[in-house]
Structure 1
Amino acid sequence: MRRFARTLVTAALAVTVVAGTAGWASADTQPLVTGPLPGTAGWRADSVSGRPLPDPERTTPSGVARFFAGLDPSRARELVRAHPLVVGNLDGAPLPLRYEANRLAVLAAGEPRFAPLAAPGRRILAFDPRGRGTVAEVFGDLERTAHLSVIVPGSDNDATTHDRARASHTGPAGMARSLRTATGETAAVIAWTGYTTPVGVGLDTARGRLAEAGAVRLARFTEGLAAVGAPDPVLFCHSYGSVVCGLAARHTHATDIVAFGSPGMRADSVRGLGTGARVWAARGPSDWIADIPNVAFAGLGHGADPTSATFGARRIDATDVIGHTGYFLPGTRSLKAFAAIATGEAR
């Protein structure tokens, strides 16, 4: 009873704090980017030998894969040139076509903030210029790898900050590169900045609205990976990204889900995630996320601490992690453990 009373008090305090800051927090509320991509109408009006093209919103990734498997390569390249933004984001389409389509889509966007994504050698698997922009980038050979990991980042990440200059082991692209190096480049890693993330600390970070939308996108993205023969992924979910992973868990075929620096996964326990994946959790001793109340009340908060014994996740040693973004720093115990999970060596 005493524990229940403390939980109610904590929840009430959380609501009071967020409500008291709503004046500035609401200014940071991010609009969801929804609906079909620009160019979808032209795609739907097109056809191949009188047959309609697969609908981007209704056709399953496996259906998309079957369509391209029966398509003449020259016609497929014509579709890339005619509809780059659609093909580049079409889950289930062949990987080389998506890479080329997104290069063309970035160039067609005509915005300097996106231009670096079109640099030679970059493998952009998804790109949406609307709003702050979303992007997914592949590090390694996704067509031949036996091991695949997907980085799901938290707040303040988008297509322009995805790979901005900062500590080399932070940010979506930095975490992906650091993990791939730690595996001896035996694993392919995708930096998936594929949803609208919160900005700053405000109502968006306390609510599940953006995570719910992101979970739908993540589930379909991983379904698309399976449709092209990629191995089942390990999901590495940082901060608010772990909320996304928690909501998507039952809809993905992940072998492992790793939550680190997590405010909660919108579940009371591993069982509540509804997944057959192994679930891991890490939190460094100086990570400020520990100050976030692990409650879910009136739509605010994300529930139990994944590193708590009652949650039931496998604990990862993060005792040498500094701050909220130090989990992929070379030499740390956390990165060594992450690499072992990514390559299937962890038990």
Structure 2
Amino acid sequence: MRRFARTLTTVALVATVIAGTAGWASGDAQEAVTGAPLGTAGWRAAGLPDPQRMSPAEIARYFAGLDPVRKRELARTHPGVVGNLDGAPLELRYEANARSTRGVFGGARVLAHDPRGRGQVALVYGDLARAEHVAVIVPGSDIDAGHVRPLADMATALRRATGDRTAVVAWAGYTTPVGVGLDAATGRLAEAGADRLTRFVDGLAAVGAAEPSLFCHSYGSVVCGLAAHGLKAKDLVVLGSPGMRAENVAELGTSARVWAAKDPTDWIDRVPNVEFAGLGHGADPSDPAFGARRIPADDSTGHGGYFAPGTTSLRTFAAIAEGDVR
């Protein structure tokens, strides 16, 4: 009887999340963009190796066997593929994406750009090839190629906080929920995003970039939680998290250090940390019982204030990215 009562309570809490009375609003259902890069059919028709059948490491080896003229030719004739091919040389991807974006994303180099759906993009601040430290920021709802400014602001704030020593990637490389309705309460988009994030990070390793620290905001922390077991990362930092689809750090299956931040004014704290019938994302990573290292965030404000200049959370993020905290 007690177990039945707990189940009814869980159902009621999840219904509260979906209804919006815990601070969540309605959102439109999204179809995840997955699969091979745009233009792959033409790439295959030209007799080039199928990117869906190659790992990022294999792609890196393929490009290593080409002469510079051939590489440039591929970037020119197949920019949609080369620009989004994890494992391809960084400079070649920048060159390919410069052709398709034509300066739209000023102040950053474009490591990936997929115009399908609402659009996906990965923006690089700093020298990703030579930086001793790399950070990747994974956003939550409402971020896409047309609405990337909040994510870009997080990336530039983090880079400045490290004294411009850390290369920072603003990774809007998956289909995010719109608003915080049913899509944001389920793991469907996060599962597709986790696959893309894992391959993206594998691509960084394949071209010799430093092992990154990942900073995962809001629904982005669900993506990072589902990807955790396969990510080549030194840190997983979650902020404003509704849960990581795990009950504790051990369930994530990662060797990375796991950190969590949640400020007392963040509305996400009013969302029940439950998971039932595919709804909700489980335990609160900032709860001591989860086992993550706690990041102070008492001077941050709201759900989007963790990267605000001068905050303890931003200073701690910078120290983590730089490897200055143990």
Q: Judge same fold: TM > 0.5, yes or no.
A: yes
The alpha-carbon distance between structure 1 residues 20 and 190, as it changes in their structure 2 partners (threshold 3 A), is closer
Secondary structure of the structure 2 residue equivalent to 1:28:
coil
Structure 1 consecutive aligned stretches of length 4 or more whose deviation exceeds 4 Å: 4-7, 18-21
1:78 aligns with 2:73: yes
Secondary structure of the structure 2 residue equivalent to 1:226:
helix
Secondary structure of the structure 1 residue equivalent to 2:136:
strand
| Cα drift, residue 74 of structure 1 | 0.6
Please, which moves more after superposition, 8-17 or 284-293? 8-17
How do 1:234-253 residues align onto structure 2 when only pairs under 5 Å count?
A: 234-253=213-232
Distance 2:136 2:19 in 1: 36
Secondary structure of the structure 1 residue equivalent to 2:137:
strand
Amino acid across the alignment from 2:245: R
TM-score, length of structure 2 as denominator length: 0.95
Amino acid across the alignment from 1:330: P
Residues 179-209 of structure 1: CA deviation (Å, up to 9, x unaligned): 0000011110000000000011210010000
Report if aligned partners of 2:229, 2:252 keep a CA contact under 8 Å in 1.
yes
Distance 1:156 1:93 in 2: 28
Amino acid across the alignment from 1:136: A
How do 1:214-229 residues align onto structure 2 when only pairs under 5 Å count?
A: 214-229=193-208
Distance 2:129 2:199 in 1: 19
Distance 1:324 1:27 in 2: 17
How do 1:157-172 residues align onto structure 2 when only pairs under 5 Å count?
A: 157-163=143-149, 171-172=150-151
Distance 2:141 2:10 in 1: 22
| Cα drift, residue 54 of structure 1 | 3.0
| Cα drift, residue 36 of structure 1 | 3.0
Q: Supply the RMSD in Å over aligned alpha carbons.
A: 1.9
Name the residue aligned to 2:12.
Answer: 13
Secondary structure of the structure 2 residue equivalent to 1:310:
helix
Report if aligned partners of 1:173, 1:191 keep a CA contact under 8 Å in 2.
yes
The alpha-carbon distance between structure 1 residues 6 and 272, as it changes in their structure 2 partners (threshold 3 A), is farther
Residues 4-34 of structure 1: CA deviation (Å, up to 9, x unaligned): 778534421134335657xxx8860111223
Equivalent of 1:132 in 104, 114, 118:
118
Distance 2:73 2:269 in 1: 52
Name the residue aligned to 1:275.
Answer: 254
Report if aligned partners of 2:18, 2:181 keep a CA contact under 8 Å in 1.
no
Name the residue aligned to 2:293.
Answer: 314
The alpha-carbon distance between structure 1 residues 18 and 290, as it changes in their structure 2 partners (threshold 3 A), is closer
Equivalent of 2:128 in 138, 142, 149:
142
1:66 aligns with 2:61: yes
Could you tell me the percent identity over the aligned residues? Answer: 63
The alpha-carbon distance between structure 1 residues 177 and 7, as it changes in their structure 2 partners (threshold 3 A), is farther
| Cα drift, residue 37 of structure 1 | 3.1
Report if aligned partners of 2:215, 2:238 keep a CA contact under 8 Å in 1.
yes
How do 1:1-347 residues align onto structure 2 when only pairs under 5 Å count?
A: 8-17=7-16, 28-47=28-47, 53-107=48-102, 116-117=104-105, 119=106, 122-163=108-149, 171-347=150-326
Residues 156-192 of structure 1: CA deviation (Å, up to 9, x unaligned): 00001112xxxxxxx2111110000000111100000
The alpha-carbon distance between structure 1 residues 36 and 253, as it changes in their structure 2 partners (threshold 3 A), is closer
Report if aligned partners of 1:30, 1:196 keep a CA contact under 8 Å in 2.
yes
Distance 2:111 2:177 in 1: 22
| Cα drift, residue 80 of structure 1 | 0.5
Distance 2:261 2:14 in 1: 26
Report if aligned partners of 1:10, 1:295 keep a CA contact under 8 Å in 2.
no
* Larger RCO (alpha carbons 8 Å, 6+ apart): 2
TM-score, length of structure 1 as denominator length: 0.89
Amino acid across the alignment from 2:70: R
Gaps of 5+ in 1: 48-52, 108-114, 164-170
Amino acid across the alignment from 2:133: H
Distance 2:200 2:35 in 1: 16
